[in-house]
Amino acid sequence: MDDLEFVQGCLKGDKQSWNVFLSRYSHLIYNYIYSVLAVKGRNFSNDQVEDIFQDIFHLLIKDNYKKLSTYRGRNGCSLASWLRQVTVNFTIDYLRRLKPILSIDAENEEGFGFKDTLTDLSPQAADFLSHQDKLKTLYECIDLLEAGEQYFMELFLGQRLSLEQIKDHLKVTRGAMDMRKSRIFQKLQECFKSKGFGLDFLK
């Protein structure tokens, strides 16, 4: 039985399929939650992690398994990979609602930091933009990114991981990693330009 057939069994209310789902994927979902929390540098109690876990399962099964039914297994995507993305996105959104504080001075192993995103401000802009103004602008642009893209930015800037480390963490090729970085930076560049700033470092 492939993943899609297995999910269909769960959707049809087959108790054995659902028990296998719980047994097979609960541990993975917990691991993905802890992985995001570790990358974010957040220390949550077991009860808090359990709350996130239960919320994710509620998301999967509410409205007659509406979320779980969106799994299609396209392009060879396994159910485990799909659940990973659901869990990562949900956990990141959960943490965003907590409004974590990031340091503008943080740098990754490649020497790149949040403050570098603001080094190309015009003299006029730099004159009136305070430290908090700069952070606010940066947050606004990052908040416009998709959840997976925000996760990359947290790995690259917040946790100061190199692209090679991120590649291994996300289990993608270096070429795919470089393309993802380029796409994300292009979005940030367009966002900052829309606010009147230039960002040559994103080229």
Query: Two tokens at 123?
Result: 């003299």
Whether 5 contacts 77, CB under 8 Å: no
Quick check: is 159 in a domain?
A: yes
Do 139 and 181 belong together in one domain?
A: yes
The CATH number given to whatever domain includes residue 23 is: 1.10.1740.10
Query: Two tokens at 93?
Result: 């959104």
- The sign of the CA dihedral 195, 197, 190, 152 is negative
Quick check: is 129 in a domain?
A: yes
The CATH number given to whatever domain includes residue 175 is: 1.10.10.10
pLDDT per residue over 45-94, tens digit each?
Answer: 888 899 999 999 999 999 999 999 999 888 778 898 899 889 988 998 88
Q: Which residues contact 131 (CB under 8 A, 6 or more apart)?
A: 104
Confidence (pLDDT) at 201: 36
Neighbours of 92 (CB within 10 A): 20
- The C-alpha angle 98, 103, 104, rounded to 5 degrees, equals 125
Distance CA 163, CA 190 (A): 22
Q: Which domain holds residue 191?
A: 114-202
Q: Which residues contact 42 (CB under 8 A, 6 or more apart)?
A: 95, 100
Number of domains the chain contains: 2
Whether 119 contacts 108, CB under 8 Å: no
Q: Does the pTM of the predicted model rise above 0.85?
A: no
Per-residue pLDDT, averaged over 111-121, amounts to: 49
